[in-house]
Amino acid sequence: ARCWGFNSAGEVGDNTTTNRTRPVTVLNPAGTGPLTDVAEIAIASGAACARLTTGQVRCWGNNANGRLGDGTTTNRALPVTVLNPAGSGALTDVAQISIAQGHTCARLNSNEVRCWGNGADGRVGDGTGTTRVLATAVLNPAGNGPLTGVGQVVANGSGTCARVGAQVRCWGDSVNGETGDNVGADRVLPVTVLNPPGLGPLTSVSQIARTGASACALLTNGEVRCWGDNAFGSIGDGTTGTDRFLATATQV
């Protein structure tokens, strides 16, 4: 991995807090050489994570609210190992990672999700709204077991969304409708994103994206549906200023 830019919390990963205007090598946790076996990189303001080919995760940078997942809230200028929920060893079998401004999530090979960091607004998805410094299982909408069948997870802003089969589940802050369930209330457990009439789940979803307080879904027919904050036209339906609490078709 190579990183560059603002480095006040060590988010470049080279064991300094010196801003870098050119790419520098991200070091291993011991600081003795490059971090190797990197399969995927995820970044957000102040921090970064790498999924390794071993299925483990290393994170570095700003660790406010424990979003680096090492059981502490100490900033790290070198990568640290994301720990399992018990804190007894590395989180393993990770297939995908996504990091937001205050929390981080990982999709496992079992198609379950683990999240950690700032739990305000329910963004960790464990039914509590509690901040977590260790990876925590995201629960299903009933709260009686893990969320399963996840093919993609996206953490951004103060919430998270997951593609489950061809549908979408979201949790966390929803003051602007970013959970897509037509309610506009924070969700500490995943809820189903509804179709534009609000009569059932949004279906035929192949990919999801989320930024700030809005989210979008690409459908298998090539169309796009978006929901949430629309202050600057983020929904793409030709309007501004009216938030969308249901998935809305973008227009050309």
Mean pLDDT for 229-249 is 95
pLDDT of residue 136: 98
Q: pTM for this one?
A: 0.96
* Residue 251: pLDDT band with limits 50, 70, 90: confident
pLDDT of residue 145: 98
| Residue 46 CA from chain centroid, whole number | 14
* Residue 109: pLDDT band with limits 50, 70, 90: very high
Model pLDDT for residues 135-148, shown as the tens digit of each residue: 999 999 999 999 99
CA distances from 38 to 5, 61, 107, 129, 194 (A): 20, 17, 16, 32, 36
* Residue 78: pLDDT band with limits 50, 70, 90: very high
pLDDT of residue 247: 98
Mean pLDDT for 86-91 is 98
* Residue 69: pLDDT band with limits 50, 70, 90: very high
* Residue 252: pLDDT band with limits 50, 70, 90: confident
Model pLDDT for residues 16-59, shown as the tens digit of each residue: 999 999 999 999 999 999 999 999 999 999 999 999 999 999 99
* For residue 178, pLDDT beyond 90: yes
Mean pLDDT estimate for the chain: 97
